[in-house]
Amino acid sequence: MGFMRRVLAYLGNLFVALAVIYLGLAIYYWLGWPQWVRNYGSVAFVLAMALFWFLPAGAGWARRLGVLSCMAILTIAYVSKTPVEQNWVPLHERHVSAVIDGDIARLDNFRDAIHRVNEPSTPRWTQRTLDLSQLRSAELILQPFGDFRALEHLMLSFGFSDGRHVVISMEARRTSWASFDTLAGFFRHDQIYPIIGSERDLVWKRIARDPPFEMQFYPLAAEPAAIRAYFVRALKFANQVKERPQFYSTIRESCMTTVIKLAPQTFAAVPWYDIRKWIPGYSLSLFQDLGLVDDSLPADELARLRKLRSGIRDPADFPDDPAWSAYLRQP
């Protein structure tokens, strides 16, 4: 009995210590509070809670009850907080929205920005009318970040019978391109930002960098009806976010997890503990196991095969979007 009591006490202390550190970081990333409050408050909270919890003095139960009360109040405030409006970068200023009427989808703030190598981008927002009955294909686009395999960005490109492609990218809404804190994605800090735009915007933006990002294209093995359902669900999600902004979450609402939640029911069979479900850099083999992309080759070999070739020309060299999209897919 004494041993079990010590084990439970140890586990309880460990839980409190981890929870206090997490809440301290939550204070640090709490947008809407002055920077000095976030900086000093996060440290002061951790020190104060640790001191009152572990201090070997009298009335321990009262002190610990006070610590738990403070943690509970902060947790309730934390989970009920809402995103804060900020000064967004020009490419993230507007929210896309869609009106769906039968086979016709009308999109406002469809992004079709102009990107030039080593020059600032020129935002361009347009209206786009799409005939959903002409939706024919979908491709998974993976964009690795450097040599760290776990980090990748995931997008979807939907192809129509007239040769046009519409890209959907779930991103963290940015206030600056100069820096990005990946840890913030765990602390209700950034907003999820659905972008729906052209390939010459969302794909070329990444190729036009110096050096360019690597891009991999994987056709999805799905019937047109399933592709249409997937696309419509993504449009409706974009409408929801426009009406009620949501937090970007590395675990629950990221480029990967949002795409999974909107995807066909195939994903329901993936166990929650499968790491590939949460980390985009390991997602290709998951898509293969689900039969959504080519599974005839090992994931690493398939990635090399589906890598976009170097030396891609500027979309401005082509008469229209379908021409550049067709060129993009040439071997």
User: Do 68 and 188 share a domain, yes or no?
Assistant: no
Residue corresponding to tokens 């891609």:
312
- How many structural domains does the chain have? 2
Residue 131: strand pairing partners = 104
Residue 165 placed within a domain:
yes
Q: Is the pLDDT of residue 169 over 70?
A: yes
Encoded tokens for 165: 């492609």
* pLDDT tops 80 at residue 272: no
Helix (H, G, I), strand (E, B) or coil at 266: helix
Is the pLDDT score of 267 beyond 70? no
Question: Are 104 and 44 in a shared domain?
Answer: no
Same domain, 14 and 136: no
Pair 202, 114 in one domain: yes
Could you report the per-residue pLDDT of 82-119, keeping only the tens digit for each? 999 999 999 999 999 999 999 999 999 999 999 988 88
pLDDT the model gives residue 58? 54
Domain contains 85:
no
**Token pair 């963290």 in the structure block, residue:** 172
From 32, 60, 80, give the residue that closes a domain: 80
Q: Is the peptide bond before 211 cis (omega within 30 degrees of 0)?
A: yes
Question: Residue 269 sits in which domain range?
Answer: 90-328
Tell me which of 80, 113, 132 is where a domain ends: 80
- Type of residue at 253: E
Residues 36 and 97 in one domain: no
Looking at the fold, whether 198 and 280 belong to one and the same domain comes out as yes
Asked if residue 46 and residue 144 are part of one domain, the reply reads no
Q: Do 62 and 97 fall within a single domain?
A: no
Backbone angles phi, psi at 217, to 5 degrees: -115, 130
Identify the pLDDT of residue 209. Answer: 83
Query: Do 297 and 212 belong to one domain?
Result: yes
Specify whether 316 is located in the same domain as 177.
Answer: yes
**pTM, entire model:** 0.90
pLDDT (tens digit, 9 = 90+) per residue, 280-329? 888 888 888 888 899 989 998 999 999 999 889 999 999 999 999 999 99
Residues 148 and 281 in one domain: yes
What pLDDT shows up at residue 59?
56
Is there a domain that residue 203 lies in?
Answer: yes
CA atoms within 13 A on the CB side of 256: 22
From 59, 80, 101, the end of a domain falls on 80
Tell me: the pLDDT tens digits for 53-83? 887 665 578 888 889 999 999 999 999 999 9
Residues 109 and 207 placed together within one structural domain of the fold = yes
